[in-house]
Amino acid sequence: MALEALIFDVDGTLANTERDGHLVAFNLAFKELGLDWEWSNELYHKLLDVTGGQLRIKYYLKEFNTLFKHDDVDSLAASIHALKTKIYVRLMDEGAVPLRPGVERLFSEAREAGLRLAIATTTTPANVDALIANTLGKDALDWFEVIGAGDVVPNLKPAGDIYNYVLKEMNLNASQCLAFEDSHNGIISASSANIKTLITVNEYTDRHDFTGAITVLNNLGEPNKPFEMITGNRTDSTYVNVSYLQELHAQHS
Ligand code: XBP
Ligand code: MG
């Protein structure tokens, strides 16, 4: 089956939003609420094992701040998270996080080639809209046939639910798609939906297990700035474009 669609994770894949967006917003929300918590980059690295901001806060309390007591941890996590989302959107509006190398170029080449685009993420929908609108412009939200975000499915990544949701909405088989991810939880999720996955690592994920990935790169690369291949089949391509994706898709179908 021919390659029909590209499905993108957001955080860590399209942009380094975890370090420059989510972590900053969590810490600002703690401060504004008078909590004396401050998550370091090192701690956040560990907290990223759990996807979803509210679940991450509860994981922090359970494993890393056991002395903190509260009658209703669920509602505390929900209210911290609501504020954190507002702050995150504000940071995006201020232009805090650029897209990673090659992302904008690949979107436009894929659209020109008639490939269908979608998003599969476990983050809050407002966060996706803010990142896309502030980096590519509001109209770019229409480039994505489906924006599947965490709240439309019962189970966040590493469950495959969000990828299965996107496939169903697009009426596509897994074999017609490629997924783009940056993390172990992400590849487990896409693989559970049987979608072949290309990985671009970042500082939080470069030691993750990416067994099953069709290739692992440092980033998508640009014509004047080649990617570095970490694992994968030898290729003449030096940056990820539609013909390289078709080559990868054919090799792995
Ligand atoms: C990233 C996540 C999210 C973000 C925080 O998922 O796990 O939880 O860290 O966003 P993905 P929220 O890489 O699939 O986009 O606070 O909105 O959950
Ligand atoms: Mg990610």
**pLDDT per position as a tens digit, 139-193:** 999 999 999 997 799 999 999 999 999 999 999 999 999 999 999 999 999 999 9
| Assigned CATH topology for domain 5-16+99-251 | Rossmann fold (3.40.50)
Among the bound ligands, name the one nearest to the CA of residue 180: 2
- Looking at the predicted structure, is the pLDDT value of residue 90 above 80? yes
Average pLDDT over residues 77-93: 98
Q: What value does the mean pLDDT of the chain take?
A: 97
Q: Catalytic amino acids?
A: 9, 11
Question: Given this chain, do its domains 5-16+99-251 and 18-93 carry the same CATH topology?
Answer: no
Among the bound ligands, name the one nearest to the CA of residue 22: 1
**Amino acid, single-letter form, for residue 145:** E
Residue 240 CA to ligand 2 centre (angstroms): 18
Residue from 47, 122, 131 to probe ligand 1 pocket by mutation (most atoms less than 8 Å from CB): 122
Residue 69 CA to ligand 2 centre (angstroms): 31
Binned at pLDDT 50, 70 and 90, residue 253 comes out as confident
- State the architecture of 18-93 in CATH terms: Orthogonal Bundle (1.10)
pTM: 0.97
Residues in a beta bridge with 117 = 6, 144
User: Domains of the chain: which residue ranges?
Assistant: 5-16+99-251, 18-93
Tell me, what's the pLDDT at 20?
Answer: 95
- Closest ligand 1 atom to the C-alpha of 12? 13
Burial class (CB in 10 A: 0-12, 13-18, 19+), 137: exposed
Per-residue pLDDT tens for 105-127? Answer: 999 999 999 999 999 999 999 99
Nearest residue CA, atom 8 of ligand 1? 52
Tell me, what's the pLDDT at 96?
Answer: 81
Residue from 23, 48, 60, 123 to probe ligand 1 pocket by mutation (most atoms less than 8 Å from CB): 123
